[in-house]
Amino acid sequence: PRLSYGVIALDDELRRLCDGWGEPAISARRLLAGGPASVDAAFAALGGGYVRDERGKFKQLGYLKALATARLLELGFDVLLSDADAVWLGDPWPWIGSRAGGQPSADAGDLPLADVLASNDMPDLRRDGQPDSVYNSGVAFFRASPGGRGGRARRFALEWANRTLATGVIGNDQTEFNRLLRNRYIDGDYSCNRPECLARDPGMYVPYSAEWVCDGG
């Protein structure tokens, strides 16, 4: 099943606003009902209103966002996350691929086979994948497993949620999204959430001469 689109409403005010505009809204509280105690704590800490400039609250928002993604995957939905400030200039489904039907684009390559698809803020495709590129968690796709319970994408989203909850003082959901995609963590190890103790970024190119100097050679 695939819902065309819906707003994940983290508070009643947004849900009522969507209802007034005739926009489909999903109550995050209802979606995550019966979850761990950290869910209620996150909603209580989040409150309402604009929280982008409040690190603690913004971290809780990211946690709920990732957890809602995992829950939708568990229910069998493919999830295309799109922040409210994202603008789509065309239909992405022919490139992403969906179990809801439709033929993938001839240019889609292996994208319809991926469990998780990420985007970045680089409009120039020649810079895609460069060391200074950052994956943007504001637009990301997660594919539910045909076998049920969300599969690998759901497991990724759950770890994303838990890593976000345990992130450092200046971290947020995008910080952890990038660390996971770049394989910076040891599986199951939550003792480190600081850059200096993470595994080396395999995608970051460091000139040999710089490595030699840093190693004290």
User: Do the domain assignments include residue 113?
Assistant: yes
User: Do the domain assignments include residue 207?
Assistant: yes
Q: How far apart are CA 99 and CA 152, in angstroms?
A: 16
What is the model's pTM? 0.84
Regarding beta strands 135-142 and 79-82, do their DSSP bridges make them parallel or antiparallel, or are they unpaired?
antiparallel
For the ranges 58-62, 98-102, 191-195, the lowest mean pLDDT is seen at 98-102
Does residue 202 contact residue 183 with C-beta atoms inside 8 Å? yes
User: Do the domain assignments include residue 3?
Assistant: no
User: Do the domain assignments include residue 48?
Assistant: no
Indicate the residue type of 31: L
User: Do the domain assignments include residue 19?
Assistant: no
> For the segment 124-144, what is each residue's pLDDT rounded down to a tens digit?
767 666 767 788 999 999 999
List the domain range (segments joined by +) for residue 101.
Answer: 54-214
Regarding beta strands 79-82 and 116-120, do their DSSP bridges make them parallel or antiparallel, or are they unpaired?
unpaired
Alpha-carbon Rg for the chain in angstroms: 19
What percent of the chain is predicted at pLDDT more than 90?
38
User: Do the domain assignments include residue 123?
Assistant: yes
Residue 129 pLDDT: 66
| Between residues 185 and 124, the one the model is more confident about | 185
Residue 120 pLDDT: 84
Does residue 65 contact residue 40 with C-beta atoms inside 8 Å? no
- Number of domains the chain contains: 1
> For the segment 80-114, what is each residue's pLDDT rounded down to a tens digit?
999 888 888 888 888 888 766 667 788 888 888 89
User: Do the domain assignments include residue 31?
Assistant: no
DSSP 23-76: --EEEHHHHTTT--HHHHHHHHHH-SS--TT-HHHHHHHHHHHHHHHHHHHHTT
User: Do the domain assignments include residue 109?
Assistant: yes
